[in-house]
Amino acid sequence: MYYCDFESPLGTLLLTCNELLESLHFPLGKTRVEPEKNWIYSKEKFMDALFQLEAYFKGELTRFDLELNVQGTDFQKKVWQELVEIPYGETISYGELAKRIGNPNASRAVGMANGKNPISIIVPCHRVIGKNGSLTGFGGGLEVKKNLLEFEKRNKKKAL
């Protein structure tokens, strides 16, 4: 496993890959991860991801174009594929996401799959909110989710 750090406005993000990007972790929250002793540090393996993350945090990139190696169930992968279709700077509810994958009664399952997304920001799970507009669980913490959503709304016109 390879890893590298990315200094973002949210703190130091940790990225992992074998050959393709597999995960992005926040410095705080329930998805926080520390590199294992047998992992190899390599910025070179992550150049495309780092370049695109930099452009995203400058407000210049609205959609990532990276090859990913996401591990999950077929249902989770279906949810994650739909997440990348949510436009930059916009939000939808878990119920709406469930409808979009053709399973309108699965909002709880969609929420669970959303929470298991291993590549936050790049697969924008932060764009999914509660039906009443409330911010709900996020692996990097609700403050990070709030900051990402506010950042995208501020930069939406600049990025278009």
Catalytically active residues, by annotation: 125
Q: How far is CA 1 from the centre of its chain?
A: 20
Task: For residues 92 and 6, give the distance between their C-alpha atoms in angstroms, rounded to a whole number.
Answer: 28
Task: For residues 76 and 110, give the distance between their C-alpha atoms in angstroms, rounded to a whole number.
Answer: 8
Tokens of 93: 């509810």
Which runs of E-coded beta strand occur in 18-154? 21-25, 40-41, 92-93, 128-129
- Dihedral sign (CA 127, 86, 31, 115): positive
Pairing of strands 2-8, 11-17: antiparallel
Task: For residues 15 and 151, give the distance between their C-alpha atoms in angstroms, rounded to a whole number.
Answer: 21
